[in-house]
């Protein structure tokens, strides 16, 4: 029996719905054949955009979508993707294929309108110019008779769009230019200056942050941009700082198979996912030194599982299958984001369709919702709720060996998030253990009634289909929510906070 306490009358920070965001890159079949099939396709579409994909993403309440990359962003020149005369380009980063730029700015913003969500556009710092990025912002968001607004109107869009989230490059430490942190910090200041607010549109500029545990990058960027010597503040140049961390098997070089793994591989994987908690905590500590009021958000805009490419596929298309293991990685990672709600303002799973830990997979006219899709569907009620921290008395753990000099990890086998919004309490819990677990959550400081609960699991960790069913193992007794969780499972319980 594991016990924990939740104080219903002590709500914490807001869990931004943007933590449940997604990512669509020009990579493999994410855009073409995934999101975009062209207006002449027999697959039902709206101006080329697949309607079944739109509906499936709306079902999970997609709050934002990042585009056009990823690494592709720093090879992308936005003028190639507007108007009627669009040049072909070579996508040398992902599969060395030629694409025709038929999906560009207007098509992406039409997708955003269909999804009723918010765009997150990543600009080109690596091979672009300050002028190019500045003009893209103007093209999208300016409403008067400026040169870029006239160009937009000539391409069929009269009114400007609202684009809040704007990335200042991607992975500038790697595919985005192989830059030193000192050099990129200066560029972040420069590009941030010329990515201007137009009309009522207020940009939330996201600077390229660290790769995994590169704390020196965060230190350099925050210290350089944070000490301007001109009365300016860090948030005048950027409002967010990104972080990338992928989950794989033993190492980056030995990512492992998506479906062929043993028990040790499973625990190594979820321990790697759990590392996200340490990364966010340590990067946040550095950010706190220069931004103690937390005006700058941490944006985990690439995360998810990354396995060896599916045999027989183009290795540059990053095709992988999913099992129950991927779903548990997703549920634990979302719990980590929720727990760090004071600093983590947005996150983006890689990627939305057909690539890496996709929520959707297409095959011709067939659309499949992956195990990860179901986690997002069950989790969406946490968005914009107030965090109610879970105080564990003691959790079962498992010692997981690590590669290289890193010490073994004492992996907690139980995880949970609790939020309250509009008089309703949502409890989500993950059991990573290979055995059933009994969890008692003592809900103090208020009275609640249990409305129902759902269970996600499968008969085996290797199963590529999960079941989501009503859960009879949840009960409320004397203010204690009792969860009798099966092995390797995810549970969501909904309660009403009584007046």
Tokens describing residue 302: 């690439």
Do residues 105 and 140 touch, judged by C-beta distance below 8 A? yes
- Does the annotation count 302 as an active-site position? yes
Q: How many Cα atoms sit within 13 Å of 124 on the Cβ side?
A: 18
Q: How far is CA 104 from the centre of its chain?
A: 22
Q: Residue 135 — φ and ψ, nearest 5°? A: -70, -30
- Exactly one of 107, 171, 345, 377 is catalytic; name it: 171
CA distance 476 to 33: 47
Cα dihedral 182, 184, 187, 189 sign? negative
Whether 135 contacts 191, CB under 8 Å: no
Measured in degrees and rounded to the nearest 5, phi and psi for residue 213 equal -105, 30
Selection from 108, 120, 18, 121 nearest residue 54 by Cα: 108
Backbone angles phi, psi at 374, to 5 degrees: -65, -35
Candidates 107, 138, 302, 377; catalytic one: 302
Residues 280, 334 contacting (CB under 8 angstroms):
no
Give the residue numbers marked as catalytic.
Answer: 171, 302
């Amino acid at each position: 029996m594991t016990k924990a306490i939740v104080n219903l009358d002590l709500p914490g920070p807001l869990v931004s719905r943007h933590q449940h965001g997604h990512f669509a890159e020009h990579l493999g079949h994410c855009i073409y054949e995934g999101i975009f099939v062209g207006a002449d396709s027999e697959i039902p579409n709206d101006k080329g955009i697949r309607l079944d994909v739109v509906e499936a993403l709306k079902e999970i309440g997609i709050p934002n979508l990042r585009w056009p990359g990823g690494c592709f962003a720093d090879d992308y020149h936005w003028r190639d993707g507007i108007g009627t005369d669009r040049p072909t380009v070579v996508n040398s980063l992902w599969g060395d294929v030629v694409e025709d730029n038929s999906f560009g700015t207007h098509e992406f913003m039409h997708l955003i309108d269909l999804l009723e969500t918010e765009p997150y556009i990543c600009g080109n710092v690596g091979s672009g110019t300050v002028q190019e990025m500045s003009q893209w912002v103007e093209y999208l968001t300016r409403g008067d008779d400026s040169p870029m607004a006239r160009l937009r109107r000539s391409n069929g869009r009269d009114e400007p769009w609202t684009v809040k989230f704007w990335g200042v490059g991607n992975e500038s430490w790697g595919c985005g230019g192989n830059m030193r942190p000192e050099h990129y910090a200066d560029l972040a200041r420069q590009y941030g200056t010329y990515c201007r607010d137009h009309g009522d549109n207020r940009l939330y500029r996201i600077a390229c942050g660290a790769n995994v545990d590169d704390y020196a990058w965060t230190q350099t960027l925050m210290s350089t941009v944070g000490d301007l010597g001109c009365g300016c503040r860090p948030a005048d140049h950027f409002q967010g700082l990104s972080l990338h961390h992928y989950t794989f098997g033993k190492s980056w070089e030995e990512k492992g198979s998506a479906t062929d793994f043993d028990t040790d591989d499973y625990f190594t994987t979820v321990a790697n996912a759990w590392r996200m908690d340490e990364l966010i905590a340590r990067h946040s500590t550095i950010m706190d030194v220069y931004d103690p009021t937390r005006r700058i958000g941490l944006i985990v805009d690439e995360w998810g599982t990354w396995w060896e490419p599916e045999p027989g596929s183009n290795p540059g298309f990053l095709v992988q299958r999913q099992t129950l293991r991927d779903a548990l990685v997703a549920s634990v990672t979302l719990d980590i984001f929720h727990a760090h709600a004071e600093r983590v303002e947005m996150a983006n799973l890689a990627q939305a369709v057909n690539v890496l830990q996709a929520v959707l997979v297409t095959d011709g006219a067939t659309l499949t919702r992956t195990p990860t899709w179901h986690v997002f569907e069950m989790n969406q009620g946490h968005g914009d709720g107030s965090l109610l921290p879970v105080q564990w008395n003691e959790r079962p753990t498992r010692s997981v060996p690590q590669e290289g000099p890193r010490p073994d990890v004492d992996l907690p086998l139980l995880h949970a998030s609790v939020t309250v919004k509009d008089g309703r309490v949502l409890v989500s819990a993950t059991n990573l253990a290979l055995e059933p677990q009994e969890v008692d959550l003592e809900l103090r400081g208020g009275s609640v009634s249990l409305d129902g609960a759902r269970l996600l699991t499968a008969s085996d960790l290797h199963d590529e289909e999960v079941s989501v069913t009503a859960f009879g193992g949840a009960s409320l007794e004397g203010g204690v929510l009792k969860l009798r969780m099966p092995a390797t499972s995810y549970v969501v319980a909904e309660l009403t906070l009584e007046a």
